[in-house]
């Protein structure tokens, strides 16, 4: 299968401010829930709290294609998350992309 037909994977990470984890996770779970429920091209959206780094959260997202991810960028639930998260984090890690094999 050519690479461009493989599922498109997104890794996004955040360093959450002390005392803000509950609010951050609420916003993250809203985005994740609506991504899977409302976007036909979103196969999976997991919110992962890293064991060794108690203030770090990583999103693991799987889309049918890059185009499906690009459609995700225009959704109202992502707009809500983008509005909510900046005041809750210390830093946003660089987003990384990959493909499932």
pLDDT at 88 over 50: yes
Per-residue pLDDT tens digits for 13-70 = 999 999 999 999 999 999 999 999 999 999 999 999 999 999 999 999 999 999 999 9
Please report which confidence band the pLDDT of residue 101 belongs to, taking 50, 70 and 90 as the band edges.
Answer: confident
User: And the tokens for 40?
Assistant: 């036909």
Architecture of the domain defined by 3-99? 2-Layer Sandwich (3.30)
Q: Looking at the whole model, is its pTM more than 0.85?
A: yes
Domain ranges of the chain: 3-99
How far the first Cα of the chain sits from its last, in Å, is 9
What pLDDT shows up at residue 5? 81
Q: What DSSP character marks residue 19? A: T
């Amino acid at each position: 299968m050519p690479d461009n037909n493989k599922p498109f994977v997104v890794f996004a990470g955040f360093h959450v401010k002390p005392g803000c984890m509950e609010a951050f996770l609420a916003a993250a779970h809203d985005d994740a829930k609506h991504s899977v429920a409302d976007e036909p091209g979103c196969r999976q959206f997991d919110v992962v709290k890293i064991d060794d780094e108690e203030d770090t959260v990583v999103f693991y997202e799987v889309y049918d294609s890059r185009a499906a991810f690009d459609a995700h960028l225009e959704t109202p639930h992502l707009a809500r998350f983008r509005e909510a998260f900046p005041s809750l984090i210390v830093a946003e890690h660089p987003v990384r992309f990959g493909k499932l094999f």
